[in-house]
Structure 1
Amino acid sequence: MFPRKESYGQYSLFLQREVTFDVYQPANTRDTPHLLLLNDGQDLDGMGFPSMLEHLHNTSHPSLWVVAIHAGPQRLQEYGTARHMDYQGRGCKAGLYTRFILRELLPFLESRYHRQFPDKTFAGFSMGGLSALDIVWNHPKEFHKAGVFSGSLWWRSANDVPQQRRIMHRQVKEGRFHPDLRFFFEAGTEDEKEDRNVNGVIDAVDDTEELMELLEEKGYEKGKHIHYTLVKGGRHDVATWAGVMPEFLDWVVKA
């Protein structure tokens, strides 16, 4: 039965720990492969992910490889933005995690499976989504697509004037337009209860939509470069993300 799943434990010199990850290998290994990396890969079985992937392989794209990277015990330090910690000092190992991805994981996959992956997507949930977006944004020659499910886009350098201190927003504002990049955003209307600016819209939705506005100012277009799914009643949980996952997988292979 496909996809075939192989699990690994790779010791990372950068992170000084063993990293567990699962590789879902497609039946068709001859066509040009797409590679999808997913943070918080330990949650995929709870989503029914293998059956989603099998359906995708059978109906539209038989050559998608997926690598589900399990979060480690220092998730709050390894996920984040590589160049900036948040105002509480979280994310101090995000740069090391980025190096693990680029210098250890990707070379391992290419060596183990004897192939190059010209089309790469990185995605994640909550802080894992922030991490994936940060890595894609800062390495546009390596990755082409980012998937952000309920992303922790509130991540900020200081707690005064939060709207002006959001790190990912600043990176986009100060960054360059890369025409090959594509972005998938998901947010739920019940992701949280907070409403910093008291505008009747929860912060999770505000942060997501304001980041998309900055991307549009850079030249990215909704429908072409940006896909957005707002889930009414959607929560900050695996069940909500599972409901959007088939749509995301279809986007990965078609965007």
Structure 2
Amino acid sequence: MPQEKTIALETIIVERIHFESIYLEREVLIDAYLPTNVSKPENVNLLLINDGQDLVKMSFEDILEDLNSKQAIEPLFCLGIHCGEERKREYGIAYSADYKGRGDKAGLYNKFIFDELLPLIRKKYQIPSFKEKAFAGFSLGALSALDIVWNHASEFTKAGVFSGSLWWRKKSYEDGYKDETDRLMHLQVRKGTFYPWLKFYIQCGALDESEDRNKNGIIDSIDDALDFIVELKAKGYTNEHIKYVLLSDGKHDVLSWFKALPDFLKWGWGKNKPLK
């Protein structure tokens, strides 16, 4: 398992890990963003992030360095998990592929996270347990992170959803798709259990896309996110559990997610009063 130290800043060390996954049958690149200001490992929080290659593009370590130098967040160990060539198969919802068969390897990706990645990190960095764990992602990677958090609530406390693919559906428009019955993540929440410790950060961009399937003047990605929040609230979640952020200039791109990430990190692990 080759490893190379890539970046060393005052409060952050970035190490790249090359891991051969049995479940995914490929090499997985993982960037470990380790905080240096940790005296007690049991006080460290863990944040997993899908599409870790996008963190490289936005120099994520600089975001962490800035927040750490200002003592704005608690000790946070982040893992940027790079996607593979089969991203649209590995990311998705574990209980069901979408109407095109995408996401059919999401169950294997779950196995990779719990049976390979987490044991690897605990052993490699000698941290048997974390103060708390969270999972975030972008676009389809956000849907994957949300699905994993929802279905493993005993393991996680927070989900970060940036321009999430909440449209993920089991039926095409041509086959009679309906908002009320065919969005897979919405259905999971509707049929699921209320876990009072879970919190959700949901970010959308006003320019994420241009599609408007119900012709209500609101783009689909915003509609899907707001409808998802309705499902969460019907289950018992309140504004104390949910933060919704709409960037007026936000697009479906790395720059927009870069703008939103500091707010997410302070919302989740801020040392002062949590942002709402």
TM-score by length of 1: 0.97
Establish whether residue 247 from structure 1 lines up as the match of residue 263 from structure 2: yes
Q: 1 CA distance for matches of 2:73 and 2:257?
A: 21
TM superposition shift of 1:48: 2.7
In structure 2, list runs of 5 or more residues that go unmatched: 1-8
Aligned to 1:188: 205
Deviating beyond 3 angstroms after TM superposition, the runs of 4 or more aligned structure 1 residues are none
TM superposition shift of 1:199: 0.7
| Matches for 1:126-141 after TM superposition, within 5 Å | 126-141=139-154
The SS at the match of 1:35 is strand
Q: Give yes or no for contact 1:81–1:131 (8 Å, CA) kept in 2.
A: yes
Aligned-pair RMSD on alpha carbons? 1.0
Q: Give yes or no for contact 1:196–1:203 (8 Å, CA) kept in 2.
A: yes
Establish whether residue 169 from structure 1 lines up as the match of residue 186 from structure 2: yes
* 1:15-38 C-alpha deviation (Å, 9 max, x unpaired): 111111010000122240011110
Aligned to 2:137: 124
Aligned to 2:16: 7
TM superposition shift of 1:50: 1.0
In structure 1, list runs of 5 or more residues that go unmatched: none
The SS at the match of 1:227 is strand
Amino acid of the structure 2 residue aligned with 1:248: F
Aligned to 1:78: 90
| Matches for 1:55-94 after TM superposition, within 5 Å | 55-59=66-70, 60-94=72-106
Residue of 57, 60, 78 corresponding to 1:46: 57
Q: Give yes or no for contact 1:57–1:64 (8 Å, CA) kept in 2.
A: no
Q: 2 CA distance for matches of 1:105 and 1:117?
A: 14
Q: Give yes or no for contact 1:145–1:181 (8 Å, CA) kept in 2.
A: yes
Aligned to 1:215: 232
TM superposition shift of 1:233: 2.4
TM superposition shift of 1:45: 2.3
Q: 2 CA distance for matches of 1:87 and 1:203?
A: 18
Q: 2 CA distance for matches of 1:62 and 1:154?
A: 33
> Taking structure 1 as reference, are residues 62 and 145 closer, same or farther at Cα in structure 2, changes over 3 Å only?
closer
* 1:88-133 C-alpha deviation (Å, 9 max, x unpaired): 0000100000110011101111111111113011000000000000
Establish whether residue 112 from structure 1 lines up as the match of residue 121 from structure 2: no
* 1:163-185 C-alpha deviation (Å, 9 max, x unpaired): 12000000000001001100000
Q: 1 CA distance for matches of 2:63 and 2:178?
A: 38
Aligned to 1:238: 254
Q: 2 CA distance for matches of 1:232 and 1:36?
A: 27
Question: Which one has a bigger Cα radius of gyration?
Answer: 2
Q: Give yes or no for contact 2:73–2:265 (8 Å, CA) kept in 1.
A: no
Amino acid of the structure 1 residue aligned with 2:45: H
The alignment-based identity, stated in percent, is: 48
* 1:30-82 C-alpha deviation (Å, 9 max, x unpaired): 24001111000001122131111011212223511000000001000000000
TM superposition shift of 1:152: 0.3
